[in-house]
Structure 1
Amino acid sequence: MKIVAPSYVIIAILEAMETNSSGIGFAETCEFDYKIDGDENYIVFTAKEGVNLEPKDWFWLGYFVREYVE
């Protein structure tokens, strides 16, 4: 899944995946690549082999990320 958003949202996602227990768990289930550049900001998630990311996983990541957005 690719998320294109303003840089502050991408930064919030990265912070949540480093400091929030649910975010840390989510980060363990996938590989991710990101770019933060004035005109192009995105993060791409790819599930690790054998992992099935379900809609609820994305919901909870978003739920906790919103606490990191100022």
Structure 2
Amino acid sequence: MAQHTQDQLMTVADVISAMGISRSTWQKLVAQKRTPAIVRIGAVQRIRRDAFEAWLGQHENAAAENT
């Protein structure tokens, strides 16, 4: 069960790699509250894979509507 949960959580490094952005860009997005929901456990930050995919889909849809 624990492995299944780990598969559903992404690290910040996973997210910035998937998005092709730098850590400083990620930090700017966090400061602007423009990221998918972040799960904080102490100093550890994780992003639920389904939340990331939904967030990314919303941004894809918004970009398509603006073209």
Query: Considering the TM-score relative to the shorter chain, is it more than 0.5?
Result: no
With structure 2 as the length reference, what TM-score do the two structures score? 0.32
Structure having greater relative contact order (Cα 8 Å, sep ≥ 6): 1
Give the greater-gyration-radius structure (CA): 2
